[in-house]
């Protein structure tokens, strides 16, 4: 199998994202290549969903490279992405006498990436982290760019997504696409949602070919053809890497082409992601929504909001719904709370600026803009459009 390397070149540092099949078996040497030779241990945070053979392969490779591995297993859910789990992991790493040069290694989906990354960002004020994403979503998005953190549960019981965290860039990202063989369909589709997000902003960030390439290859992408999925991951991390390189810390001033654009669909999406009882297909057994499903709905709401403002033709939302349908992602759901409550929850999203809600809205094919002054009516129209 081929191996593709995408470089994230930051102002003062940089790191590689390696994409290919079977990479986990050589992870030890790869980690060695990016850490101090004085490192002697590794704190490995593993997702319980990753098949045992891969975990064994990673641990053997890490130990073969002279790093004593301590393994912690996390069974991921949004409620596990919490300060409590973070505290437990910190206690775990402290208990191993993990030094400042020793790496944290994650092997898992976005939740494990975010948790392990936050432990690495804060333990001893920062130790190296190597991200080995094991879901499509984590490969194309969560493992790249250095955003780490946990959700916060408020006294009222509400959950605020990713409210506490830190920017902490990895030393290496190793995306072994062979790990995706065991990923179930719903999680595959959830990852495709972030790829569609990239396709809907691609022209604003200098990657105009992504949308056309995804359109042309959509059948093979949906069929999870291994060679196409490897190419999909490489193209998507290249887009994210270039955005992160230009705007590492999501500066509010970096409006054009900045990191904020990656939040397309997320302000609407985060407001509905943690709603109890809402499922992609109306079956309560499938509630709550997965992150990528909420983002899919959030992107549709953003398109219809822009349309109501007269800033975007209806065809952009129509073609989005068409692609979501082909992929098997929802663009409308039942059981949402009132529109006022969703707007209230959107106001709590971190992207809210003062009392206004900052939105990423499409203007045309592959193009988005940041809008601070969307009218209440347009936001309502966006939300109403995804009500099933």
Ligand X SMILES: NC(=O)c1ccc[n+]([C@@H]2O[C@H](COP(=O)([O-])OP(=O)(O)OC[C@H]3O[C@@H](n4cnc5c(N)ncnc54)[C@H](O)[C@@H]3O)[C@@H](O)[C@H]2O)c1
Instruction: State the minimum distance, in angstroms, from the CB of residue 234 to ligand X.
Output: 17
User: Which residue, 189 or 207, is less far from ligand X as judged by CB?
Assistant: 189
Distance of alpha carbon 242 from alpha carbon 9, whole angstroms: 8
User: Which residue, 112 or 232, is less far from ligand X as judged by CB?
Assistant: 112
- Looking at the DSSP assignment, which residues form a beta bridge with residue 367? 364
Instruction: Judge contact between 70 and 102, C-beta under 8 A.
Output: no
User: Which residue, 41 or 290, is less far from ligand X as judged by CB?
Assistant: 290
Distance of alpha carbon 145 from alpha carbon 322, whole angstroms: 30
User: Which residue, 41 or 54, is less far from ligand X as judged by CB?
Assistant: 54
Residue nearest to ligand X (CB): 110
Kindly state whether residue 81 participates in binding ligand X, applying the rule CB under 6 A. Answer: yes
Q: How many residues bind ligand X (CB under 6 A)?
A: 28
Instruction: State the minimum distance, in angstroms, from the CB of residue 99 to ligand X.
Output: 26
Instruction: State the minimum distance, in angstroms, from the CB of residue 259 to ligand X.
Output: 10
User: Which residue, 20 or 76, is less far from ligand X as judged by CB?
Assistant: 76
Contact pattern for ligand X over residues 325 through 364, marking x by CB under 6 A: ----------------------------------------
Instruction: State the minimum distance, in angstroms, from the CB of residue 147 to ligand X.
Output: 4
Q: How far is CA 81 from CA 274, 276, 289, in A?
A: 12, 17, 16
Backbone angles phi, psi at 360, to 5 degrees: -100, 115
Instruction: Judge contact between 360 and 349, C-beta under 8 A.
Output: no
Among 36, 48, 325, 356, binds ligand X (CB under 6 A): 48
User: Which residue, 225 or 365, is less far from ligand X as judged by CB?
Assistant: 225
Instruction: State the minimum distance, in angstroms, from the CB of residue 84 to ligand X.
Output: 15
Backbone angles phi, psi at 104, to 5 degrees: -95, 140
Collapsing DSSP to helix, strand or coil, 374 comes out as coil
What is the H or E stretch that residue 197 is in?
A: helix 185-201
Distance of alpha carbon 31 from alpha carbon 39, whole angstroms: 10
Burial class (CB in 10 A: 0-12, 13-18, 19+), 85: buried
User: Which residue, 30 or 187, is less far from ligand X as judged by CB?
Assistant: 187
What residues numbered 86-125 form the site for ligand X, per CB under 6 A? 108-112, 114
User: Which residue, 327 or 374, is less far from ligand X as judged by CB?
Assistant: 327
Instruction: Judge contact between 65 and 28, C-beta under 8 A.
Output: yes
Q: Which stretch binds ligand X (CB under 6 A): 9-17, 133-141, 321-329, 340-348?
A: 133-141
Rg (CA), the chain: 20
Distance of alpha carbon 365 from alpha carbon 112, whole angstroms: 34
Backbone angles phi, psi at 247, to 5 degrees: -150, 70
Q: Which stretch binds ligand X (CB under 6 A): 23-31, 48-56, 97-105, 321-329?
A: 48-56
Place of tokens 């006294």: 155
Burial class (CB in 10 A: 0-12, 13-18, 19+), 4: middle
Q: What is the DSSP letter of 333?
A: B
Contact pattern for ligand X over residues 156 through 195, marking x by CB under 6 A: ------x----------------x--xx---x--x-----
Q: Which stretch binds ligand X (CB under 6 A): 1-9, 17-25, 44-52, 252-260?
A: 44-52
What residues numbered 280-309 form the site for ligand X, per CB under 6 A? 291
Place of tokens 């400042």: 100
Rule CB under 6 A: which residues touch ligand X? 47-50, 76, 78, 81, 108-112, 114, 134-135, 137-138, 141-142, 145, 147, 162, 179, 182-183, 187, 190, 291
């Amino acid at each position: 199998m081929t191996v593709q390397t995408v470089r994230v070149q930051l102002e003062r540092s940089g790191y590689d994202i390696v994409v290919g099949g079977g990479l986990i078996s050589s992870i030890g040497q790869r980690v060695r290549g990016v850490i101090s030779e004085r490192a002697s241990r590794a704190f490995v945070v593993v997702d319980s969903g990753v098949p045992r053979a891969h975990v064994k392969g990673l641990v053997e490779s890490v130990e073969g490279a002279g790093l004593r591995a301590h393994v912690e297993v996390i069974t991921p859910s949004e409620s596990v992405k919490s300060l409590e789990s973070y505290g437990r992991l910190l206690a775990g790493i402290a208990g191993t006498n993990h030094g400042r040069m020793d790496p944290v290694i994650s092997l898992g989906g976005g939740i494990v990436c975010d948790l392990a990354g936050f432990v690495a960002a804060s333990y001893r004020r920062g130790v190296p982290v190597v991200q080995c994403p094991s879901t499509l979503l984590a490969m194309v998005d969560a493992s790249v760019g250095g955003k780490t953190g946990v959700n916060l549960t408020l006294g009222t019981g509400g959950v605020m997504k990713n409210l506490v965290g830190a920017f902490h860039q990895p030393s290496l990202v190793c995306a072994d696409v062979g790990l995706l063989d065991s990923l179930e369909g719903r999680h595959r589709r959830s990852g495709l949602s972030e790829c569609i997000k990239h396709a809907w902003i691609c022209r604003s960030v200098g990657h105009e070919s992504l949308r056309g390439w995804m359109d042309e290859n959509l059948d093979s992408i949906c069929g999870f053809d291994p060679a196409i999925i490897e190419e999909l991951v490489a193209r998507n991390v290249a887009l994210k890497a270039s955005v992160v390189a230009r705007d590492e810390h999501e500066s509010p001033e970096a409006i054009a082409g900045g990191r904020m654009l990656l939040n397309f669909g997320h302000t609407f999406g985060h407001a509905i992601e943690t709603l109890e009882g809402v499922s992609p297909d109306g079956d309560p057994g499938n509630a709550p929504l997965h992150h990528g499903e909420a983002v899919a709905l959030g992107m549709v709401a953003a398109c219809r909001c822009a349309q109501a403002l007269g800033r975007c033709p209806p065809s952009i939302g129509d073609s989005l719904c068409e692609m979501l349908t082909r992929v098997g992602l929802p663009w409308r759901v039942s059981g949402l709370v009132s529109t006022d409550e969703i707007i209230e929850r959107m106001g709590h999203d971190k992207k809210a600026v003062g009392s206004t809600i900052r939105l990423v809205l499409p203007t045309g094919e592959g193009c988005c803009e940041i809008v601070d002054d969307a009218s209440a009516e347009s936001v309502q129209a966006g939300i109403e459009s995804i009500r099933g």
